[in-house]
């Protein structure tokens, strides 16, 4: 008996703030080249822009109709792969996005909830990562930049649907050490292995 193919959409972000690398982009590009049995995977790299990023992702969701959506983003300073628990209704950036949009204490959606929880099984994902000896922990803050904005808009849009979705932050790559001296990093191989584990455990 054949196994039903399950559709998974992953997203990452382009580099921002003058960087030449974004680990989330590298991860989703690598995932798009993998063959994972029983999974049809779609990958999209998004601009680091408040306005455009969620529009592009929601359009991809509408076209691909995935069972699960996992958005990845960079979180410098973190030592682990960190699935996010909640997105909050606030943009408050310390830097402008890649379109020059600088948002301070701005509500994302005046008609939306204060926050939306992930619908991914984050505790199960963290347990699976740790079982693979990959550093992982739960995060209760996705920040207030484009990552959180995307996460919030996605969770609101998918409310009441059968599509499970959420956001996962990843540490810097080893190649970024010179740009971020003293910050923790992970190798690309470890991040890819971790992202693959996230997908499989989410299913």
Task: Kindly compute the dihedral angle of the four CA atoms of residues 157, 203, 29, 19, in this order, to the nearest 10 degrees.
Answer: 60
The residue from 49, 60, 147, 190 that is catalytic is 147
The residue from 60, 84, 149, 190 that is catalytic is 84
Asked whether the CA dihedral 24, 166, 192, 2 is positive or negative, the reply is negative
Could you confirm whether 84 is annotated as catalytic? yes
The residue from 49, 60, 149, 169 that is catalytic is 169
- Cα distances from 30 to residues 21, 52, 76, 137, 186, in angstroms, run 14, 23, 20, 23, 15
Place of tokens 């682990």: 80
Residues 125 and 5: their CA atoms lie apart, in Å, by 21
Could you confirm whether 111 is annotated as catalytic? no
Could you confirm whether 147 is annotated as catalytic? yes
- Residue 186 three-state SS: strand
Give the residue from 159, 184, 162, 157 showing the smallest Cα distance to 173: 184
**Which positions are catalytic?**
84, 147, 169
């Amino acid at each position: 008996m054949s196994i039903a193919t399950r559709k998974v959409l992953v997203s990452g972000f382009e580099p921002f703030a003058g960087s030449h690398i974004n680990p989330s982009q590298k991860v989703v590009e690598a995932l798009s080249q993998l063959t994972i049995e029983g999974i049809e995977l779609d990958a999209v790299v998004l601009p680091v822009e408040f306005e455009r990023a969620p529009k592009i992702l929601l359009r991809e969701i509408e076209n691909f109709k995935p069972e699960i959506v996992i958005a990845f983003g960079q979180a410098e300073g973190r030592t682990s792969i960190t699935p996010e628990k909640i997105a909050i209704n606030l943009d408050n950036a310390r830097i402008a996005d890649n379109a020059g949009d600088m948002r301070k204490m701005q509500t994302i959606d005046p008609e939306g909830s204060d926050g939306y929880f992930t619908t991914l099984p984050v505790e199960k994902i963290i347990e699976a990562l740790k079982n693979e000896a990959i550093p992982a922990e739960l995060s209760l803050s996705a920040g207030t930049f484009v990552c959180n904005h995307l996460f919030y808009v996605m969770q609101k849009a998918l409310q009441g649907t059968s599509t499970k979705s959420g956001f996962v932050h990843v540490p810097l790559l080893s190649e970024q050490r010179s740009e971020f001296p003293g910050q923790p990093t992970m190798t690309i191989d470890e991040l890819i292995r971790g992202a693959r584990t996230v997908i499989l455990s989410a299913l």
